[in-house]
Structure 1
Amino acid sequence: MLAALVVASVAVPVSGAARPTAVPAPAPARLAPLTAASPAALGAALDARYAANRAGVVAAGRTAAAHGDRRRAAALRAMADPARRFLSFDGRDGGRTAEVFGDLAHAGRIAVLVPGSDTGLDRYGRFRAGAEALRRELGAGAAVIAWLGYRTPGTVSPEALTPGRAQDAAPRLRSFLGELGAIRPTARTTLLCHSYGSVVCALAAPDVRAAAIVLYGSPGAGVDDAAAMRTTATVWAGRGAGDWIAEVPHGRLRLPFTTLGFGPDPVSKEFGAQVFDAGAGGHSDYLKPGSVSLRNLARIVSGPAPSVRAPAGAARHA
């Protein structure tokens, strides 16, 4: 198993080279922290933040067009729609964003989505569609934040087998959640972590305040068990019956220069997470409208219910 990981890390080193991270973009403007706003003025402060980031999106789109990258320019034109709301935006190095769905200033429940591999400005549509679907499922009084705050690895790349990108991302996620907790201290916040994003969340977990952390479609979390995440949040895990990630070896090989693999399967009994029924879907189907997984993820965000837990033995055949 571990030999296979080593072979994969050597056999596919060129996939990362195809990632469109070299498209230039201007540096984002420095923005006043939202924590400087009083609770009564938070709505106005958020509107100002959204407007400033929209201007950044427009500037990045112009730069991409001048560079000759029509695909990136088209993606950024769509993001510049006045109805879109970004808490943060940086068009450099493949792109970093945090997009809000719902009324963040008044939301009592907040879900923060952390994506896995191959998520960037040029492939943002699926990530956004999932956030929109979850927001609709949650109904009134909830907000969803699609946090693309790190350079995700390629699905078929050495980086997807090691924790390096997650180690870089974890401090960014902690900082983001710290600011979010400061401006919305009474809201119930849940981290929803897909695929490689579950490694990011597990590394950030000891220093974040959240009601629940959900690992779904996970190759492993980079820790031995849920207790090793050192969090007061309830840790949930789920995997669809059609998800190919079930075939990924669950182990870790420590080498002098890196670690390959992410350890035990989060849906295993030994890991110690609360296992929820993720239905029959595949790796990209967890937030699909009408799915069992979407319905149960929304229940966890709203507050765990006994019906969310998978039947006995579900983790074995998921």
Structure 2
Amino acid sequence: MASRPSSSRARRALLAALVTASVALPVSGAARPAAVPAPAPAPLAPLDTAPPVLDARYAAGRQEIRAARDMAARHGDRRRAAALTAMAAPGRTFLMFDGRDGGRVAEVHGDLSRAGRIAVLVPGAGVDLDHYWRSRRDADALLDELGPGSAVITWLGYRTPAMLSPSSLTVGRADEAAPRLRAFVREVRSAGPTARVSLLCHSYGSVVCARAASGLDVADIVLYGSPGTGVDDSAALRTRATVWAGLGGDDWIGGVPHVSLPLPSGAVGFGTDPVSPEFGAEVFDAGDAGHSDYLRPGSVALRGIAAIVAGTAGAGRA
């Protein structure tokens, strides 16, 4: 009987969050970069890790970024133009770029043609072209931790929900993203069939990974800073991958009610906490990580996630 008041309080807290998000949406929505125009990208050649094919894909990515930069400059958005100028710099390598509607990006960190370990990072709410630098920072830190023979791909392949918006409390954006993530992972696997591929899913990105999980040919699905996945337990993901979960001691997401509240328009909230015993994931030590610093250089969380990607985390399971 003691659980009923607690469950009631969680539902009330979730409703309060939804009301707050609904009020905040006009403000946060106005700041979104989707209104900045960009050209439609050209069709891409199939991915292959042979250097001539990779080089052609990277060249196509730079061309798309420069075209979007020029259009942003003509539109008068100096911030976007500056960000795109940095993205088009020599040495940066993009498998895909689309500057429309907030941006779609797949950037390679490391040498994909020689990688025996590949990590695909799936970001959460609030990540778009104007905030993409955070994903790049995290990918570089993970690559440094993994060392030679590895590649990290930041996959911003969907329209992320704004922070503090109703769409960040439902699975709608994740359902839109899941087929694209499945297609991208299939492309990576066909290009590097012998590589060990891990899916790293941060915050709302864990909802995306959960919706895409069934049938994905990956070794690991790593959920961190997760509000939940929209399913009751890891078995419901219907994946052969090892499912891992971590929550940092300083992550505010730990205070989010882990319930799913049915409404006429669809459920709000994502249910079971992935680090709880009833979810059934392998829990890794995330130390004192805050919500945005799981891949902070030198951190416990970064070391744990790198060990999972490298396939050496078995002895350190929490």
- State the TM bucket, normalised to the shorter chain: over 0.9
- Picking from 37, 44, 69, the partner of 1:24 is 37
- In the TM superposition, 1:223-302 aligns within 5 A as 223-302=231-310
Structure 2 equivalent of residue 78 of structure 1:
86
Displacement after TM superposition at 1:7 (Å)? 3.2
Displacement after TM superposition at 1:5 (Å)? 2.3
One-letter amino acid of the structure 1 residue matched with residue 137 of structure 2: A
Partner secondary structure for residue 160 of structure 1: helix
CA displacement 1:37-86 (0-9 Å, x = unmatched): 5x6xx211010000011010000000001101111111000000021000
One-letter amino acid of the structure 1 residue matched with residue 135 of structure 2: F
Displacement after TM superposition at 1:124 (Å)? 1.0
CA displacement 1:61-117 (0-9 Å, x = unmatched): 000011011111110000000210000000000100000001111100000000011
One-letter amino acid of the structure 2 residue matched with residue 174 of structure 1: R
The worse-fitting range, judged by mean Cα deviation, of 14-23 and 48-57 is 14-23
Displacement after TM superposition at 1:135 (Å)? 0.4
- Picking from 12, 15, 18, the partner of 1:9 is 18
Q: Give the conservation status (yes or no) of the 8 Å contact 2:33–2:129.
A: no
One-letter amino acid of the structure 1 residue matched with residue 256 of structure 2: V
- In the TM superposition, 1:213-232 aligns within 5 A as 213-232=221-240
Partner secondary structure for residue 197 of structure 2: strand
Q: Are 1:174 and 2:182 an aligned pair?
A: yes
**Matched residues in 2 for 1:61 and 1:6: separation?**
41
Partner secondary structure for residue 59 of structure 1: helix
Partner secondary structure for residue 97 of structure 1: strand
CA displacement 1:18-42 (0-9 Å, x = unmatched): 21211000000112112xx5x6xx2
**Which aligned runs of 4 or more in structure 1 are off by greater than 2 angstroms?**
1-13, 15-18, 304-308
Displacement after TM superposition at 1:153 (Å)? 1.1
Q: Give the conservation status (yes or no) of the 8 Å contact 2:222–2:245.
A: yes
Displacement after TM superposition at 1:10 (Å)? 3.1
Partner secondary structure for residue 260 of structure 1: coil
- Picking from 114, 118, 123, the partner of 2:126 is 118
Q: Give the conservation status (yes or no) of the 8 Å contact 1:5–1:161.
A: no
RMSD across aligned C-alpha pairs, in angstroms?
A: 1.1
CA displacement 1:118-173 (0-9 Å, x = unmatched): 11111111110000000010000000000000111112111111111111011110
Q: Number of aligned residue pairs: give it.
A: 305
Partner secondary structure for residue 119 of structure 2: strand
Q: Are 1:153 and 2:161 an aligned pair?
A: yes
Q: Are 1:50 and 2:58 an aligned pair?
A: yes
Q: Give the conservation status (yes or no) of the 8 Å contact 1:101–1:143.
A: yes
* TM-score (normalizing by structure 2): 0.94
* TM-score (normalizing by structure 1): 0.94
Structure 2 equivalent of residue 185 of structure 1:
193
Displacement after TM superposition at 1:4 (Å)? 2.9
- In the TM superposition, 1:59-78 aligns within 5 A as 59-78=67-86
Q: Give the conservation status (yes or no) of the 8 Å contact 1:254–1:260.
A: yes
Structure 2 equivalent of residue 315 of structure 1:
none
Displacement after TM superposition at 1:307 (Å)? 4.1
**Matched residues in 2 for 1:255 and 1:207: separation?**
29
Q: Give the conservation status (yes or no) of the 8 Å contact 2:304–2:313.
A: no
Aligned residues with identical type, % of pairs? 65
**Matched residues in 1 for 2:314 and 2:260: separation?**
33
